[in-house]
A and B are shown apart, each in its own frame.
Chain A
């Protein structure tokens, strides 16, 4: 099935460092979302973006909805050990794709104390 192109696939960083990951698509999405999944858990929504160009923050997390509607990025500032997990971007279109999210392959984040 179609997926978003998410990069990097994995990151190994030191506690306190900033993190940046992004997601691109060949087609337009009306909504971009970022989810985090920890071992043994389901994904949890971090940030939702609904308007092209929108920049939204949630604590140390900042995400942007690309102006072309074909990309989004997520930044995590001053990483801490509990940031460890898999981060997924997801996009949603309207119309026949109503109710369906398309996910990226995920970015595995490891934070060394």
Chain B
């Protein structure tokens, strides 16, 4: 069974540009979560999507947005990139019945570098 897949693996952008990151959850999982992992820090919760709807949002500005598609895959968009947006962006998924357990399955992440 394929795990959570993310693309691209690496992305380099300049300040002010937009970045789009993509995630495919494990087959059968309906919830998708996005976390930011900056160097030397733990993971910071960004967004949670379930059944196509945004269910919860972390303390990030509105230029961080996303969506979930009917096939449960998800996209994270970061507009007006700033240098401090440089980080590893991790996507995770969970089954519908597990979404309140904290048991997440993570992908390998997309490394975003903002120059």
Contacts and interface: CB of A to CB of B under 8 A. Distances in A.
Contacts of A105: 40-42
B58 A100 contact: yes
B109 interface: yes
Interface string B32-60: 01010000111111001010000110110
B108 A43 contact: no
A58 interface: no
Nearest to B6: A42
Given A94-B100, A99-B56, A42 B92 contact: yes
Given A42-B4, A48-B101, 15 more contacts: A1-B59, A45-B104, A90-B43, A98-B99, A99-B31, A99-B33, A99-B48, A99-B50, A99-B56, A101-B35, A101-B45, A101-B102, A103-B43, A104-B42, A105-B42
Contact of B58 (A1, A43, A88, A90): A1
Contact of B90 (A33, A43, A50, A94): A43
29 contacts: A1-B44, A3-B42, A31-B102, A33-B102, A41-B108, A42-B106, A42-B108, A42-B109, A43-B43, A43-B104, A48-B102, A88-B43, A90-B43, A98-B55, A98-B56, A99-B33, A99-B48, A99-B56, A99-B99, A99-B100, A100-B45, A100-B58, A101-B43, A101-B45, A103-B35, A103-B43, A103-B44, A105-B42, A106-B42
A56 B102 CA distance: 16
Interface residues of B, number: 29
Contact of B45 (A1, A4, A94): A1
